[in-house]
Amino acid sequence: MKIEMTPEEHARLHRRRGRQALGLVIAVLVLIGTLTVLHAGVNAVAKLFDDTAQKQEYEDKLEGLVLFDPVPFEGIENIDDLTLREAAVWGCVYSIQETQGGFDGYNTDPDTEQLLIPSVDVDAYLAKLVGPSFRMTHKTFEMEDMTIEFDDTTQCYKIPVTGSVGSYRATVTKLFKKDGLLHVTVGYIPNQNATDSILTTTSDTPVKYMDYLFSRQSGSWYLTGLTESETKPESTAASTASEPAMMADSEVQDAILATGGETPAGSDAASSEAAAASGEADGIAESEAASDAEPQAESAASPAA
């Protein structure tokens, strides 16, 4: 039996299907929007806790200091003068190389072909590290195996061509705040004494860790101190864990009694047996002496009679 629909019913059916299709499209769009918002939220949270860029920033700042392994200090005014000069000049050199990819924009000495680093660049590097208020007097200084000459005329440092500078390179492993200071934990990775590149290293494993301390000034963090870190190298931690624990005095006494408890008793028994045997021997000797003495007494008495 064929059912015929009136034009009005056909129109209502088409409108119903249209509304259903529209509702489906809206639902899909809502779902896509929800997923997009969730994804953006997850990325925002991840970026909030991701400090990779900040670690890299402090690695660049501290590279010059880590090269020369400074001793701990409190207050930037108490840092070793030679170490600060070495860090300022070579840190600036490293910063230029890493940020600009080379020294194409810098001049060289026409006689020695040494690289010329303007003092203003060194000042800019120091300002980022210790603050704009710090001032260093520029002058020639002696390093362990080279001289860094400062030209008063050009106001430039002459950087010798060398294949190896410094003992370590930096890797920032942790950032945390304590007592109002920002602690930057730096791992020291030994540099390889190679002639082809001063950035070549023997290993990526730090041999020690130090905490560089930064204080907040005018909305920025600047270096103010250096101290030993609670973080220890893996080899040191492993050797410490493998060392036997020290026993308390009571535990030592208990161990002695437990391992040698039968020895004193055995010694006492042996001593008793030895004493008894000695007593028997003495008794036999006395009896023999007495028996020998009787004939002598009789013979002595006969002449008297």
Average pLDDT over residues 211-221: 94
Q: What average pLDDT is seen over the chain?
A: 78
Write phi, then psi, for 37 (nearest 5 degrees).
Answer: -65, -40
Show the tokens assigned to 107.
């001049």
> Could you tell me which residues come within 8 angstroms of residue 63 by beta carbon, excluding any fewer than 6 positions away?
91, 94, 95, 169, 170
Q: What is the pLDDT of residue 263?
A: 44
CB 176 within 8 A of CB 200: no
Strand partners, 226: 73, 212
Look at the alpha carbons of 51, 55, 58, 60 in this order and tell me if their dihedral is positive or negative.
negative
Strand partners, 177: 182
CB 101 within 8 A of CB 91: no
Looking at residue 28, the DSSP 8-state letter turns out to be H
The verdict on pTM exceeding 0.75 is no
In 3D, which of 197, 201, 224 has the Cα closest to residue 213? 224
In 3D, which of 153, 95, 129, 67 has the Cα closest to residue 138? 153
Write phi, then psi, for 225 (nearest 5 degrees).
Answer: -170, 170
Of the listed ranges 54-58, 180-184, 233-237, the least confidently predicted one is 233-237
What percent of the chain is predicted at pLDDT more than 70?
Answer: 67
In 3D, which of 221, 218, 127, 238 has the Cα closest to residue 181? 221
Q: What is the pLDDT of residue 24?
A: 86
258 pLDDT more than 80: no
Q: What is the pLDDT of residues 259-292, one digit of tens each?
A: 554 444 444 544 455 455 555 555 555 555 545 5
CB 76 within 8 A of CB 223: yes
| Type of residue at 298 | E
21 pLDDT more than 80: yes
> Could you tell me which residues come within 8 angstroms of residue 66 by beta carbon, excluding any fewer than 6 positions away?
166, 168, 169, 170, 186, 188
3-state secondary structure of 267: helix
**Helix or strand run (H / E) with residue 11:** helix 7-49
300 pLDDT more than 80: no
Average pLDDT over residues 228-236: 84
DSSP string, 36-87: HHHHHHHHHHHHHH--HHHHHHHHHHHHHHHHT-PPPEESGGGS-HHHHHHH
CB 228 within 8 A of CB 210: yes
Cα–Cα dist 179/158, whole Å = 41
Q: Per-residue b/e over 36-74, b at no fewer than 16 CB within 10 Å?
A: eeeeeeeeeeeeeeeeeeebeebbbbbbbbbbbebeebe
